[in-house]
Amino acid sequence: MAKGLFPRAWVKKSFYFQARISFVRVKYLFLTWLTVLVGSWVLYVQYSAYTELCRGHECKNAICDKYRKGIIDGSACSSLCDKETLYMSRCLSTLPNNQVYTGSWGDHDGIIRCKLGEVVHYELGEEPEPRREAPVFDKPTRGTSVEKFREMVFNHLKSKLGEQANLASLVSQILSVADGNKDGRVSLPEARSTWALLQMDEVLLGLLLQDRGHTPRLLGYCGDLYMTERVPYGPLYGLSLPWPLVSWVPSGLQRTMDQWFTPSWPRKAKISMGLLELVEDIFHGTYGSFLICDLAAAHFGYTDRHEIRLTNTRAVVSEDEFKRTMRVLKCETDADCVYGVDCQTSCDVSEKRCREEPVQPNLAKACGALKDYILRGAPSGLREELERQLYACMALKGNAGQMNMEHSLILNNLKALLWRQISHTKDS
């Protein structure tokens, strides 16, 4: 009887064993299928996002088409379209109609930017609408003299910067840039390219600040495509986390992590002095005063010699334009009177209009941005005095009666304090 039961038990056990193996196989087959499905979907989404964001070939084709038709010209046109010695490499675009690429042009590495028409979305099953073209290069018109073009540029600068004593010299500088082939005259196609560039505030502000070394140099242009020198190190400090991680990492932890990825303290001091000099130069600059309305570390980088560069001039606005904008802004509270990220005025509640004067000057915001950066790793004999001066700087108000004098005093004291520490080092 026991002998008869053994084969039956063995068969039953074998059946359960085979059934378990089949279940495991089905489970792993399902997981494999699910992984392939999810992976394919992620790849599709990434590819779709890439093809929508990265349209450098369209940008080049549109620009070169207009160049070959004689509509536009510029210092980079021949290299981009004929010789093909200027080419785009890695896509950095974050908006479909604002193309950004790393690029090379002979011995120069740089950043290439180009405007494109809007991407038009459509539902599946519908006929796609034609892509909306970027504005055509229709100014100046045929028959416009160089003197008339000079007047156009002058009036445009005046509308952007207000009445400034040195506008005529700035116009001459821009006309020199407009002469792309350096033949001593500005042709109509070159003038059209220059006019298109001047409509972009970031290009105009870059030209204003590049002489003092605060922004990357303009290397060349063709139409509204232009190339600036590449800043090797950026952001100013910290890591640029991938967007899925940004919302998961607490801001306190991210600030701490940011301070782990910085140069040595003497080099940080030199970079900080560069930011203070930028603030000094735009406070009452050659072409008026400017406000920095977003002092995020991502908008700054630095060179191999630890010289700071403002890499996003969209964060800068002329004081004249700022006041015009705030003057017409209606408000209920001070929170309604904000320009950009952090340029704020107060609300005149009785008039329900924003006041013109900024609450906080550039220097106060710069000191706030530098506080954690420069205090970490500071020499022990310097830290207390440096912290005291930084807090005095952060307390500056835009409407203080003696703001100009106080601004200059604090700025000079901070620069002198940092310079004493690094003047004897190789980093100076």
3-state secondary structure of 288: strand
- How far apart (Å, rounded) are the C-alpha atoms in residues 397 and 355? 14
Full DSSP string of 357-389: S-SS-HHHHHHHHHHHHHHTT--HHHHHHHHHH
Q: Give CA angle at 122 (116, 125), nearest 5°.
A: 140
67: which residues sit within 8 A by CB, 6+ positions away? 73, 77, 80, 81, 189, 222, 223
pLDDT attached to residue 328: 92
* Peptide linkage before 216 cis (omega within 30 of 0): no
Cα–Cα distance list, 314 to 204, 216, 291, 292, 364 (Å): 10, 14, 11, 9, 20
**Phi first, then psi: what are they for 72, rounded to 5°?**
-130, 165
Q: Which long-range contacts (CB under 8 A, 24 or more apart) does 169-177 make?
A: 170/208, 170/287, 173/207, 174/198, 174/207, 175/146, 175/149, 175/150, 177/207, 177/218
pLDDT of residue 135: 52
Are the C-beta atoms of 318 and 288 separated by less than 8 Å? yes
Res 124: pLDDT? 36
Identify each DSSP E strand in 197-351 by its residue range: 218-222, 225-229, 290-292, 300-302, 308-310, 316-318, 338-339, 343-344, 347-348
Q: Give the side-chain half-sphere CA count within 13 A for 217.
A: 10
User: Which tokens in the block code for residue 375?
Assistant: 């205090």
CB-based contact 63:28 (threshold 8 Å) = no
Length of the chain equals: 428
**pLDDT recorded at residue 128:** 38
Contact 390, 372 (CB under 8 A): no
Structure tokens at 391: 């807090």
Confirm whether pTM is higher than 0.85. Answer: no
What's the CA gap between 379 and 385, in Å, rounded? Answer: 11
At residue 284, the pLDDT reads 77
Q: What is the pLDDT of residue 39?
A: 55
**Contacts of 40 by beta carbon, 8 Å cutoff, 6+ apart:** none
- pLDDT tens digit at each of 428 positions of the chain: 444 544 555 445 555 555 555 655 666 665 676 666 565 554 544 444 445 688 889 999 999 999 999 999 999 999 999 998 998 999 988 888 889 999 999 889 999 999 876 544 434 344 434 444 445 688 899 988 999 999 999 999 999 888 888 889 999 999 999 998 888 899 999 999 999 999 998 999 888 888 888 999 999 999 999 999 999 887 877 666 555 555 556 666 666 666 666 788 999 999 999 999 999 888 877 888 899 998 888 889 899 899 999 998 888 999 888 999 999 999 999 999 999 888 999 999 999 999 999 998 999 999 998 998 899 889 988 999 999 999 999 998 875 445 577 888 899 999 999 998 888 776 55
Contact 343, 364 (CB under 8 A): no
The C-alpha atoms of residue 387 and residue 393 are separated, in whole angstroms, by: 10
Axis-axis angle for helices 188-198, 146-161 (nearest 10)? 0
Per-residue DSSP letters for 71-100? S---TTHIIIIIS--EEEEEE--SBTTEEE
Question: Using CA atoms, how far apart are residues 403 and 416, in angstroms rounded to an integer?
Answer: 20
Peptide bond into 358 cis (omega under 30): no
Single-letter residue type at 7: P
Tokens 């209009």 belong to: 353
The pLDDT value given to residue 389: 94
β-sheet bridge partners, residue 88: 103
